[in-house]
A and B are shown apart, each in its own frame.
Chain A
Amino acid sequence: MDFTFTEEQEMLRKMARDFLGAECPRDTVRKLIKDEKGFTPELWAKMTELGWPGLIIPEQYGGVGGSFMDIVALVEEMGRGALVGPFFSSLVGTLAVLEMASDQQKADLLPKIASGKLILTTAFSEPGVGYELDAIQCQATAEGDDWVINGTKLFVENAHLADLMLVATKTKHATKQEGLDLFLVDPKSPNVTCSMIETISGDKQSKVIIKGLKLTEAKRLGEAHRGKDRITRLLEMATVLKCAEMQGGAQQVLDMTVTFLKERIQFEKPVGTLGALQTHAANMAVDLEGMKYITYQVAWKVNENLPFAKDVAMAKSWCSDAYRRICDLAHQCHGAIGFCEDHDLPLYSKRSKVSEFAFGDGLFQRRFVAKEIGL
C-alpha cells in the first residue's frame, strides 16, 4: 500500500501550483468569469508549452505519454487554483478519442490536441436527461452511408471555444441496450446552434441544437451502435477526474479557512480558538480526508486498468456532498467577508454546486451503488 504520488507527480503538482499562481491567480479567474469567452489564447499557449493538453496522449501522437494518475495530479491542482477555461472539457473529449477512436481518427486528432491547436468538448446531457445514457433522445439516422443528426444537448461546456464537439446519440433502429454512438461534430456548422446558458458559477456552458446535420461514417467513433459500454467507461473516467478537481478545490477552501481562523481576531483572540469554529474546521478536514482517499483509490484503479464502476459512483457521491458541506462550513467560518463577490471563497462554493451535478450528483450515483450492493 502506498498513499503517495511519485516524485515526478509531485514535481508536476508543484509546477502546476506555481504556474497557476503566477499565470492565472484568482483575480484573473474572476476577470475570466466575467469575460464573454472565459479564456485567453495566451494562457492556453502557455499551458500547451508545458505539455498539458497532451499529457495523457501517447508519445507516438505527439503527446507526453503520461499516466492517468499524472492527469489526476494535474487536475487536482487546477481545482485548487479554481482554473476556468476549456482544459477539463477538452480533456474529457481527448479521453473519448483515446478510448474510442479508430487509428485513423487518432492519427488525425491527437497530434492537434497535443499541440494545443484543437480544443474539444463533449455533449451528453439533454433537456430532462442527465447522464442516463438509455434516456438519450438525440438521434442519428442512417441515410445511405451517411448519418443525419437531430437533437438538443444541454450543459455543453465551452462549446463556444471548442473546435470539435463529441456528441452522444442514439441510433434509429436501436434497442435500449445498444445503439449509442459518439459523433465528431463541428460546433460552427450551420446546422448547429450554440447558445450560452446562465450558470451558477459563471462557467461557460451552452445549449446546443443540432438540426439535420449530415455526417460521414468517418465522423463516428468506435464500433457502430455498440458505444454504450465505452461511453459509460469514458464518463466514469471523467467522473474520477471531476472528483480530483473537486478535491483540490476543497483543499484550497480548507486552507484558506484555517488561515482566516488563525488571523481573524475577535474578542481579543483568534476566532480559531472558539470551539464552535474548531468543530467546523474539523468537520471540513474529515470530509476532505474522505474525498482524498476515496478519489485516489479509484484513480489508482483506473490507472491499473482494474474494474472501477462501483468505486467511482461511491467517490462521486461522497465528493459531491462533502465538497458542498465543506464550502457551507467555510462560509460560516469566514463570516460576512466571504459573502463578497471579490472574495476567493465564492469562486469555490459556487463551483462546488456545479461540480456536484457534473457527471451525476449524489442521488444519481447512489442509484447505481444501490444496485451494486445487491438491492
Chain B
Amino acid sequence: MDFRFSPDEEKLRQEVREFCQKEPPESFPHEIEDEGYGFGGWSRAFTQRLGQKGWLSISWPKQYGGMGGTVMQRYVSAEELAYHRAPQYGHLFGDAVAAGLLSKGNEEQKMEFLPSMAKAEILFSTGLSEPGAGSDLLNTATKAVKDGDYYVINGQKIWPTGAHLAEWCLLLARTDPTAPKSKGLSTFLVDVRWPGVTVNPIIDMAGAKSFTEIFLEDVRVHKKYLLGQENRGLPLVFEALEGDRFWGRCIRHAGSRKDLEELVEYVNDAKYDGHRLKDNQVLRDTLAEIAVELQVSRMINYKAAWLLNQGKSISWESSVVKVFADELGQRLAHVGLEILGPEVQLGEDSKWTKLRKRFTFLYKFNRGLSLAGGTSEIQRMTIATRGLSLPRG
C-alpha cells in the first residue's frame, strides 16, 4: 500500500495552488456561483484560463489538444481547485463528453471537438433525463428519425446543467422505437444554437439557475454527429454517468474542508447566550465528526480515483463516492446552520455575513445533490446489485 501522490502529481498540485493564489478564482466573472459540490460555480472566463494552462485536458492524448497526462493528475488538479472553490462546473460535463468522444468517437469527431473543448472555446452539457425518464432512462421518449444524411429530433430534456451557458449538448434519443427499450437508443452531439432547439433555465429551490430544460422541435442533426453506433447509445451513457457520479462528487471533501475550516474559525470566535461556542462539547464533537467523515470521503474518493487511473470500472464504487459525498454535504450544511443559529437569518453586515450566506445557500442547494445524477436510492440499488451482486427486484 502507498498513499503518497507521485512527484509529478505533487508538482501539478503545487502549480495549481500557486495559480489559485496568484489569480484568485473569485476574481473571475461567474455565470453561476459556487454551489458547494466541491467544484465551484460556472465561469467561462476562469474555465478558459484553465484551458490556457492546459488543465482542461490533462489526461487526454496530445494529438487532440490534451496534455497526455494521467487521470490521477487530473484528479489532483481538480482536488486542489476544489479547495480554492474554483469554478469547475463549466468543464465538468464536457469532460464526461470528452471521455465518450475518446472511447466511442470517430477521428473526425475527435478532431472537431476535443481541441476546442481543451481551450473552452466550446462547452458541453448533457441531456439525458426527460419528464418521463428520470431514474428510468430506458423510458427515453425523445425521438431521432433518420432522414437522408440527417436525423430529425423531437422531444424534451430536463435537468441538463448549464445548457443555457454551453454551446453543445450530448443528447440521448430513441432511434429505433420497435426494438427492446435498451436496444434502440443513440447519443448525438447537438449544438443548442441550431434551429428548433429552445433552452430554458429552471430556477431551483435555492434560487440558483444551473439546471435547464431543452425543447427539441424538428431539429436536424447531421449523421456525422451521431456518437458511437446507432442504437448502441446506452453503454456510452452508463459510462458517462459513471464518470459523472465520480467527477461530480470526488472532490467534495476538498471543498467541504474549506467550509469546515471557516466554521471552526467562527466557533472559535463567537459567543451565544453568553457562552463561548468553542466550549460547547456537543458542538466540538459534531464538528470533529464532520472532520472524520471528510477523511472517510477523501479515502473513498482516492480509492475510486486510483481504480479509474488504471482504466478500471468504477460502476458501483462511483455510487459509494456519490452517496457518501452528497449526504455528508447535507449533514455539513445542517451542522453549519445549527452552529450559526437563528442569527443566520439576519442580513446585517458582520464579518460572518458571507459565511451565513454560504451555509444558508448550501442548506437549500444540497437538497438537490442527492437527487442529481441519480438519487441516493438509485445509488444504493447500484451498490447492492453491482457491488454486492444481490438479485434485482
Contacts and interface: CB of A to CB of B under 8 A. Distances in A.
A290 interface: yes
B391 A373 contact: no
A279 B384 CA distance: 7
Interface in B100-144: none
A294 B268 CA distance: 28
B285, B289, B309: most-surrounded residue (chain A CB, <10 A) = B289
Nearest to A287: B296
Contacts of B284: 366-367, 370, 375
A305 interface: no
Contact of A258 (B261, B265, B324, B390): B390
B324 A286 contact: yes
A3 B303 contact: yes
B1 A5 contact: yes
B289 A317 contact: yes
Nearest to B267: A375
Interface in B289-339: 289, 291-293, 295-296, 299-300, 302-303, 305-306, 309, 317, 320, 323-324
B346 interface: no
A340 interface: no
A373 B264 contact: yes
B390 A281 contact: yes
Interface string B1-35: 11111100000000000000000000000000000
Interface in B256-304: 260-261, 264-265, 267-268, 278, 284-285, 287-289, 291-293, 295-296, 299-300, 302-303
A299 B1 CA distance: 9
Interface string A277-312: 011011101100110011011011101000000010
A218 interface: no
A300 to B, nearest CB: 5
Interface stretch (A170-178, A221-229, A268-276): A268-276
A4 interface: yes
Contacts of A362: 289
Contacts of B4: 1
Contacts of A273: 390-393
Interface in A181-231: none
B5 A279 contact: no
Nearest to A275: B393
Given A293-B302, A297-B299, A4 B1 contact: yes
A237 interface: no
A318 interface: yes
Given A5-B1, A286-B323, A366 B268 contact: no
28 contacts: A1-B4, A1-B302, A2-B306, A4-B1, A5-B1, A270-B390, A273-B392, A275-B377, A278-B384, A278-B393, A279-B384, A281-B383, A281-B390, A282-B384, A282-B388, A285-B320, A285-B388, A286-B324, A290-B324, A293-B299, A294-B295, A300-B2, A300-B3, A314-B291, A318-B292, A366-B285, A370-B288, A375-B287
Interface of A: 1-5, 69, 254, 258, 261-262, 269-270, 272-275, 278-279, 281-283, 285-286, 289-290, 293-294, 296-297, 299-301, 303, 311, 314, 317-318, 362-363, 366-367, 369-370, 372-375
